A and B are shown apart, each in its own frame.
Chain A
């Protein structure tokens, strides 16, 4: 029962171009979404988040878009850099925070940015 789906296991883009990573979710109770980035042999690191009251959040080269009606979010990286090569996890939470904070993760998408 995958409540958070990242249907593309991998993505390859050229340096300087845009990377678009997609994520779909099925649980209507999810109202907070995050993207994490993971390098090999390291733990995931937080990248950017978005609350369901917004449809866009931007932080430097990273922008997350949320389409609640489609239960879809995407992460845009512009311009892509070789150092962005990593596995990107989409995660979602139905809670308002606090000690019951619990994330459901997707399987991840391996992004490779070619020089």
Chain B
């Protein structure tokens, strides 16, 4: 009965490869997000989608392409992986209206070698 689930939990890959991270939420929320926690431990927003529509794109390289097939899913595809992409990626969701807090998944630790 996990609220926000993302897979895989760990991802180890080589530079230049293409990989995807999947995220699903069963909370009925309208908005979903991708956050990145880098080596300095900052959590920074990458994207947000509202009802499958891209709302926020925080100057992320276009090697990163989010895809939202429906409002319960937001996947992240990364092309031509670079060493600097190594981080923990968190998916999150929230209600659109009001100041409802974000509900986070447990993260995907991506290691690029």
Q: Which residue numbers of A lie inside 8 Å of B, CB to CB?
A: 32, 34, 36, 41-46, 49, 51, 89, 91, 93, 97-103, 105, 107-108
| Contact indicator B96/A46 (Cβ below 8 Å) | no
Shortest beta-carbon distance from B101 to chain A in Å: 4
Q: Determine which of A42, A44, A49, A98 lies in contact with B43 in the assembled complex, contact meaning CB atoms within 8 Å.
A: A44
| Contact indicator B44/A32 (Cβ below 8 Å) | no
Q: Is the interface of A mostly helix, strand, loop or mixed?
A: mixed
Show 19 A/B contacts (Cβ-Cβ < 8 Å), sorted by A.
A36-B104, A41-B107, A43-B92, A43-B104, A43-B107, A44-B43, A46-B101, A51-B99, A93-B99, A97-B96, A98-B97, A99-B30, A99-B50, A100-B56, A101-B48, A101-B94, A105-B43, A107-B42, A108-B41
| Contact indicator A99/B104 (Cβ below 8 Å) | no
Contact A46:B99 (CB < 8 A) given known A101-B31, A103-B45: no
Which size bracket describes the interface of B in this complex? 20 to 34
Alpha-carbon separation in the docked complex, A103 to B41 (Å):
15
Residues of the B chain whose Cβ atoms lie less than 8 Å from the Cβ of A107 = 40-42
B 75-113 contacts with A by CB, 8 A: 90, 92, 94, 96-107
Alpha-carbon separation in the docked complex, A102 to B33 (Å):
9
B 35-67 contacts with A by CB, 8 A: 40-45, 48, 50, 55-56
